Amino acid sequence: MKRLFFLIMVLALISVKSEAQSYFTRGGQISFFSKSPVEDIKAENHQVLAIIDPVRHKLAFNLLIKGFLFEKQLMQDHFNEDVMESDRFPKATFTGSMKEGVKEGLNHVHLTGQLTIRGITKPLNTMADLELKNQVLHGNCQFKISLADYKIKIPAVLKNNIAPDILVTVNVDCKLMQKK
Amino acid sequence: MITFKRIAIVMLVLAAGASSVFSQDSTSVDLLNQLNDSIGKQAAEMDDVNSIFKATQIVNLPTVEQPGRNNLQFIIMHRFGKLDGGLYQLFGLDNATIRFGLDYGLTDRLSIGIGRSSLDKTYDASFKYKLLQQREHKMPVAVSLNEWATVQTIKYDDKPYLNAKYRTAYTSQLLIARKFNRNLSLEVVPTWVHYNLVPTPEDQNDVFLLGLAGRMKLTKRLSLDLEYDLLPGDPMPSRDIKPSFGVGLDIETGGHVFQFVFSNSQGMIGPYYLTETNGTWGNGDIYFGFNISRAFGWKKTKAK
């Protein structure tokens, strides 16, 4: 009898854990945009990995710096080799949590978390729109990051070509992840 | 029995407590670890080694770099006269030769180019094809094929019979390069130059050379480049050709690469620097010059 009770409790505990549902994508999009008097610089990454867990209010993003595509190939080369040193720091990641829960329909949530670029981790607070519809969680969000925060150095000759604050746009469509 | 019940409850409470602590603090890190597992695959696919060299040529020797798809590169190459010209020639600044070139990437692997040099009023057409891409784990070297056809159009009063066929030469080069680390890249270039017509019967129509080149990064945007063309034997006795040796300093900014160069060759394209170099460094037969390339791109990043 006691054993049965114990077993039921353990099972209940396990089932509570497995109820946590995550939404996942490998094809998220993150783009960044720099507007300066001289030129506009834009790059897009379509291979962003994202996982959002609305039950536990947690989320994480992961991407390869090399996955950013530029209009000019030479610019992309310089971005990887000199600016971001992507052989040394191949990834950028974000881990964070949402203040609010996610219900069916459109949700405005506050995100707080840690953004890591070039091995440097800084806190990030921003607002995001999360729309849950037909078991697809669509998220989008915009925020600015400062080059100085991540020790991204721009040579003097290019000071006017690149804005000190870069606008980052995130767009993901996450599908319900099947538990193993 | 009672003790067992107690133990069970305590254990459950502990387990629940532990799991709640766990979900409070480390779930997001946990989620990230899940993502890290899947990003490994992506990283394995994206392990191309890029930026082996900064520009499309070291000094005169071509590098494995080429404009990407739908990218256009405009290059101005400039060589002044010999440094030993003295003050009378302002150390060579009075006599400049220049080449303009356009290179366009048809695909990421194939680029084509045209150019015009003031030396012998030479037109050139070339293509560069990337046979192998250096990869982090799978491929140790990058290999490209570089082909040039050159036709000189300068008028000879004494040789009006020289038609285009006799004025044409071909240069074939296999570019084998490796980026050893962030700062050092080396290249070996087996070269074959074919002349349709050579000045005397003693001269060979086919000349084989071995180019050796390297770049060493000094800072992020500055690199020192060296090139040397090993010339076995004396394939062209009438010309008394010397091996070409060049030193360059690359400075890169956004869309430009500036190269300040010193070379004992005045010609800037194959076969000129390969088989028409007659200066030696020791005698001060050094030409100062620069290459400036500007890249233009129209490649639109794919929308969705």
**How many Å from the N-terminal Cα to the C-terminal Cα in chain B?**
64
Residue A35 sits at φ, ψ, to 5 deg, of -110, 125
Mean pLDDT is lowest, of A161-175, B8-22, B193-207, B258-272, for B8-22
Output B28 or B219, whichever has higher pLDDT: B219
pLDDT of B284: 83
User: How close A104 gets to chain B, by Cα (Å)?
Assistant: 22
DSSP string, B171-233: EEEEEEEEE-SSSEEEEEEEEEEEES--SSTTS-SEEEEEEEEEEEEEETTEEEEEEEEE--S
Size of interface A-B (CB pairs under 8 A): 128
Count CA atoms within 13 Å of residue A127 on its CB side.
3
Output B265 or B6, whichever has higher pLDDT: B265
Q: Which of A74, A85, A86, A157 to mutate to test the interface with B (most CBs of B within 10 A)?
A: A74
Cβ B42–A44 below 8 Å, yes or no? no
Residues of chain A neighbouring B35 (CB-CB closer than 8 A): 49-51, 60-62, 93
Average pLDDT for B116-143:
95
* Cα nearest neighbour of B53 on chain A: A77
Q: Which residues contact B300 (CB under 8 A, 6 or more apart)?
A: A71
Distance CA B134, CA B47 (A): 9
- Residue B24's pLDDT band (boundaries 50, 70, 90)? very low
pLDDT of residue A118 exceeding 90, the answer is yes
- Residue A11's pLDDT band (boundaries 50, 70, 90)? low
pLDDT of residue A15 exceeding 70, the answer is no
Distance CA B162, CA B156 (A): 8
* Cα nearest neighbour of A7 on chain B: B8
pLDDT of residue A29 exceeding 70, the answer is yes
Q: Does B6 touch chain A (CB under 8 A)?
A: no
pLDDT of residue B22 exceeding 50, the answer is no
pLDDT of residue A134 exceeding 50, the answer is yes
Q: Does B181 touch chain A (CB under 8 A)?
A: no
Q: What is the pTM (predicted TM-score) of this model?
A: 0.80
Output A159 or A166, whichever has higher pLDDT: A166
Output B50 or A168, whichever has higher pLDDT: A168
Helix/strand/coil percent split, chain B, to 5:
20, 45, 40
Cβ B297–A66 below 8 Å, yes or no? no
Q: What angle do CA B225, B231, B233 make, to 5 degrees?
A: 165
Instruction: Provide the mean pLDDT of chain A.
Output: 88
Q: Look up residue A2 and give its two tokens.
A: 């006691």
Out of A7-16, A64-73, B161-170, the most confident range is A64-73
- Residue B10's pLDDT band (boundaries 50, 70, 90)? low
Residue range B237-255, pLDDT digits in tens: 998 899 999 999 999 876 6
CB A37 within 8 A of CB A12: no
CB A158 within 8 A of CB A89: no
Q: Which of A3, A51, A72, A93 to mutate to test the interface with B (most CBs of B within 10 A)?
A: A72
In the three-class reduction of DSSP (H, G, I as helix; E, B as strand; rest coil), residue A10 is classed as: helix
Average pLDDT for B165-181:
95
pLDDT of B172: 97
DSSP character at residue A80: I
Average pLDDT for A91-109:
92
Q: Does B302 touch chain A (CB under 8 A)?
A: yes
pLDDT of B38: 82
Mean pLDDT is lowest, of A14-18, A84-88, B13-17, B49-53, for A14-18
pLDDT of B303: 37
pLDDT of A82: 84
User: How close B173 gets to chain A, by Cα (Å)?
Assistant: 24
Q: Is the peptide bond before A90 cis (omega within 30 degrees of 0)?
A: no
Residue range B73-101, pLDDT digits in tens: 999 999 988 877 777 767 777 778 999 99
pLDDT of residue B193 exceeding 90, the answer is yes
Residue among A54, A57, A59 nearest A132 (CA): A54
Average pLDDT for B178-207:
94
User: How close B1 gets to chain A, by Cα (Å)?
Assistant: 8
CB B196 within 8 A of CB B168: yes
Distance CA B205, CA B238 (A): 12
CB A127 within 8 A of CB A112: no
**How many Å from the N-terminal Cα to the C-terminal Cα in chain A?**
31
pLDDT of B15: 59
